[in-house]
Amino acid sequence: MGRKKLVPLRDNSAEELGGKLVGLRNELSKERAQISSGTRAEKPSKIRNTRRQIARILTIMNEKKTGVKK
């Protein structure tokens, strides 16, 4: 992965990142609930991609908190 995916996220404020984080966590819980109820997920890779997006946002939030510039 390059910097291309992170550049648009780094331009957001902490509040915007927090809002996106909440939305992604809700989406992830819905996908997991759908799978646990016995139905097949339309896109199995969606859970992995959502988890990765959450990790990217948390990384950027921690960088902003500690003052690390990339």
pLDDT digits (tens, 9 = 90+) for 3-31: 666 678 888 888 999 999 999 999 999 99
- Domain membership flag for residue 43: yes
Q: Note whether 28 and 51 are within 8 A (CB).
A: yes
Q: Pseudo-torsion of CA 19, 1, 47, 53, nearest 10°?
A: -10
* CATH number (domain holding residue 36): 1.10.287
Q: For residue 26, what are the CA distances in angstroms to 4, 43, 48, 64?
A: 25, 17, 14, 23
Look at residue 49 and tell me if it is in a domain.
yes
| Total domains, the chain | 1
38 pLDDT above the threshold of 60: yes
Confidence of residue 56 (pLDDT cuts 50, 70, 90): very high
Q: Is the pTM of this model over 0.85?
A: no
